Amino acid sequence: MGEFELLARVRERLPPLGTRVRVGSGDDAAVTVPGGATATSVDAVVDGVHFRRGQASPGQIGHKALAAALSDLAAMGAEPGEAYVVLGAPPDLSEDECVELLDGMVGLARSTGTDVAGGDLTRARELFLALTVVGHAPRAEDFVSRAGARPGDALVLTGELGAAAAGLALLEDPQLATALRVDPPIGGSNSHPADALRARQLKPEPRLGAGRALAAAGATAMIDVSDGLGADAAHLAEQSGVRLRIDAGLAPLAPGVREVAERAGKDPWRLALGGGEDYELLATLPPERLAEARNAVRETEGIELTEIGEALAGEGVEIRLPDGAELKPEGFDQLG
Amino acid sequence: MGEFELLARVRERLPPLGTRVRVGSGDDAAVTVPGGATATSVDAVVDGVHFRRGQASPGQIGHKALAAALSDLAAMGAEPGEAYVVLGAPPDLSEDECVELLDGMVGLARSTGTDVAGGDLTRARELFLALTVVGHAPRAEDFVSRAGARPGDALVLTGELGAAAAGLALLEDPQLATALRVDPPIGGSNSHPADALRARQLKPEPRLGAGRALAAAGATAMIDVSDGLGADAAHLAEQSGVRLRIDAGLAPLAPGVREVAERAGKDPWRLALGGGEDYELLATLPPERLAEARNAVRETEGIELTEIGEALAGEGVEIRLPDGAELKPEGFDQLG
């Protein structure tokens, strides 16, 4: 099958475009009228580096690539707008797998209100995806950067940590699932708790609603937890010029993380704080706006916002584990 | 060297950002205030598919990847704005080669007034680049799509064809250079004519000035010649719902193309019209605006605009070669 036939098949599956996009996929460029400020982020994933084709289905790979890109927009407090997709397709990726991959992506685009406005398809030896996402806000000042934290701000985290790391451990060693207690099925649901952990690794959801809620509630700085809480806190501290003190014991661990970590012979906190890919949001905001932010996050996203530390004058990150030990924020500074 | 160190080294080399970009590389997303309509295009190149590391230097690879992307903006009549770069770096790409590649890109960004506003760097088994470029215009209607050609419009081409294809033939068989007559050096210049052909293949220039000039002179449809004149004319004809009649003998061939083609045992017109990658612009416009367009392209870009055919009612493309034969517009519809 040629490129044009496949592109035509893909285009047929795209949902109708929103009003901002005047010309979509198929011309030299997509035409949009942003009507304010834009936040643009690019994010690439490569087989063998960010995922393994054997472990994740094509649909999951497509979903996760877009989720990781949209998570950057969530961390800006942006309204998602457009996505542009580059797919590097190896010879052994069938046409059906190609379409399945793009379907996974389009499913998330649809549920988040993102227009897939353009793309490029190329041959490659290994499967890769490069996503460009554009988010919107009325004014540039409405976006939340990493650089605005001030001493005295509270440090808050959405949701729970560790599920993605535990899910990855379960994918690599299915035996670890025996660590998890299976509750008797209630009301017909009998999914294994390991499934929820694996789903957080394979099919994460960007916290777009929580990001906008935190921006509206006065977040001074924000970042998504993609490299691990320690590494991402270090980015935020450095770009804001503050010191972040984190009480790791306050950060909620997802159900099952403790059990999987212990069975794998790892410290649950080190797994949860170092593993990354939870795509939760870490933000700073004035303490007097905590209650408002907590309510807004609960309403928009249905998850909890937890205060896990504070911003102080100085530099660097200080993470105290529940046993009193200090965790060094590992620099996940390898290509990846 | 880690990702963050390399990114820091790259960032140091970027020129200062223009006024549209409020937050550049280094946050979750780049923040811009477009102030009108935007045209966005993505374009990926992969080692072994679009270039060969042995044939092109890292700087040339970076330059050409951005040139190909910006050529799509030229074809919209857009003012270039921002570029976002994904680099997939294989283990054998050294840090210096990485920087050289990005320098090649930044050189073209600088000369075209494009801000490199963000990017992502990832490990990969093979070298690839995915470029997203954003161009601007006051209103969406100011962009020139592929879809506006009308029966009665003149069909025009910027510059000359065939140089990129002849340059590629020379790269693959250096013996072909003996076909080219070397003029005695005048005023100290003694570069071989084969150098100019190879340069058009390795370091093409996007026709951004000509694209804006054609848009201002009333172009009704426009496309860049990246797949070959035949294939690109077919796209334009299909999306506009017209028939394009092309007199190939009117299209100027770049100096040396005829000689290289004949030495290689190929028909010069088939080489020039099928080879692609010349990144000239093919446009339609009302005949009464031809003189104005020709002058504007000469003034902004210093090249000629040539009328090579016309748009008629109907569909498809009809290409007459100088010997009276008809050339089928090859569908370059393979992944590539």
Nearest by CB to A336, from B86, B122, B140: name it: B122
User: What pLDDT, on a 0 to 100 scale, did the predictor assign at position B129?
Assistant: 97
Q: Are residues A163 and A293 in the same domain?
A: yes
Give the total number of structural domains in chain B: 2
User: Which of B33, B37, B135 lies closest to A140 in CB terms?
Assistant: B33
Residue A5 has pLDDT above 90, yes or no: no
pLDDT of B156 reads 98
Pairwise CA distance, residues B256 & B260, whole Å: 6
Which residues of B fall within a CB distance of 8 Å from A39?
A: 28-31
B41 contact residues in A (CB cutoff 8 A)? 28-30, 118
Confidence band, pLDDT 50/70/90 cuts, at residue B187: low
pLDDT given for residue A331 in this prediction? 43
Write down the pLDDT at residue A184. Answer: 55
- Whether pLDDT at A91 is above 70: yes
CB A120 to CB B85 under 8 A? Answer: no
In this complex, do A2 and B146 lie within 8 Å of one another by their Cβ atoms?
Answer: no
| Same domain, residue pair B204 and B110 | no
Q: Is residue A104 part of a domain?
A: yes
Whether the pLDDT of residue A158 is over 90: the answer is yes
Q: How far apart are CA A148 and CA B299, in angstroms?
A: 47
Chain A CB contacts of B89 under 8 Å are 335
Nearest CB neighbour to A31, from listed B86, B140, B239: B140
Statement to judge: residues B78 and B224 lie in one domain: no
CATH number of the domain where residue A229 is located: 3.90.650.10
The answer to whether the Cβ–Cβ distance between A33 and B29 falls below 8 Å is no
Question: A162 and A26, same structural domain?
Answer: no
CA B97 – CA A115 distance, rounded (Å)? 36
ipTM: 0.91
Domain assignment present for B66: yes
Confidence category of residue B148, pLDDT binned at 50, 70, 90: very high
Whether B23 is in a domain gets the answer: no
Which of B154, B329, B108 lies closest to B228, judged by CA? Answer: B329
Q: Both A132 and A159 in a single domain?
A: no
Q: A145-154: per-residue pLDDT in tens?
A: 999 999 999 9
Same domain, B134 and B218: no
Q: Which of A1, A27, A41, A333 should we substitute to test contact with B (largest number of B Cβ atoms within 10 Å)?
A: A27
* CATH number for B78: 3.30.1330.10
Q: Rounded to an integer, what distance in angstroms lies between the CA atom of residue A241 and that of residue A234?
A: 10
Same domain membership, residue A58 and residue A87: yes
Same domain? B7 vs B129:
yes
pLDDT at position A70 is: 98
Q: What is the pLDDT of residue A203?
A: 92
Let me know if residue A336 belongs to a domain: no
**Rounded CA separation B238/B241 (Å):** 5
Whether residues A39 and B48 touch (CB distance < 8 A) is answered with no
Contact criterion met (CB below 8 Å) for A89 and A121: yes
In this structure, are B231 and B292 located in the same domain? Answer: yes
Q: Take residue B265 and report the two structure tokens written for it.
A: 């045992």
| Domain limit, last residue, from A116, A142, A168 | A142
Are B122 and A86 within 8 A, CB to CB?
A: no
A335 with B82: Cβ contact below 8 A: no
Give the separation between CA B265 and CA A112, rounded to whole angstroms. Answer: 56
Question: Confidence band (pLDDT; 50, 70, 90) for B335?
Answer: very low
Say yes or no to pLDDT of B18 above 60: yes
pLDDT for the residue numbered A11? 75
pLDDT in tens, A168-208: 999 989 888 888 876 655 555 557 788 999 999 999 999 99
CB contact under 8 A, B41 and A50: no
- Residue B218 lies inside a defined structural domain of this protein: yes
Q: Is A133 in the same domain as A161?
A: no
Confidence of residue A34 (pLDDT cuts 50, 70, 90): very high
Cβ–Cβ of B140/A26 closer than 8 Å? no
Task: With beta carbons under 8 A apart, name residues in chain B contacting A333.
Answer: 2-5
**Yes or no, beta carbons of A22 and B30 under 8 Å apart:** no
Is residue A89 one of the residues assigned to a domain?
A: yes
Q: What is chain A's mean pLDDT, rounded?
A: 90
**How much is the pLDDT for B6?**
73
Under an 8 A CB cutoff, do B2 and A135 touch? Answer: no
Nearest CA in chain A to B85: A42
What SS3 state is found at A217? coil
Confirm whether B149 is domain-assigned: no
Give the closest of A4, A27, A41 to B145, CB-based: A27
Question: Among the three residues A81, A115, A142, which one is the final residue of a domain in this structure?
Answer: A142
Same domain, B161 and B131: no
Tell me whether residue B24 is in a domain: no
**Mutation to test the B interface, candidates A11, A21, A31, A282, most B Cβ within 10 Å:** A31
For residue B85, the enclosing domain spans 3-17+34-142
Q: Does residue B98 sit in the same domain as residue B165?
A: no
Instruction: Give B25 to chain A, closest Cα distance, Å.
Output: 9
Residue in chain A lying closest to B41 (CA)? A29
> Which tens digits make up the pLDDT trace of A111-145?
999 999 998 999 999 999 999 999 999 999 999 99
Which residues from B are below 8 Å from A37, CB to CB?
22, 31-33
Dig out the tokens for A62 from the structure: 């497509």
- Measuring CA to CA, how many Å separate B156 from each of A154, A224, B223, B248, B250? 62, 50, 11, 12, 10
Task: Quickly state the pLDDT bin for B325 (edges 50, 70, 90).
Answer: confident
Closest CA relative to residue A55, chosen from A66, A43, A67, A47 = A47
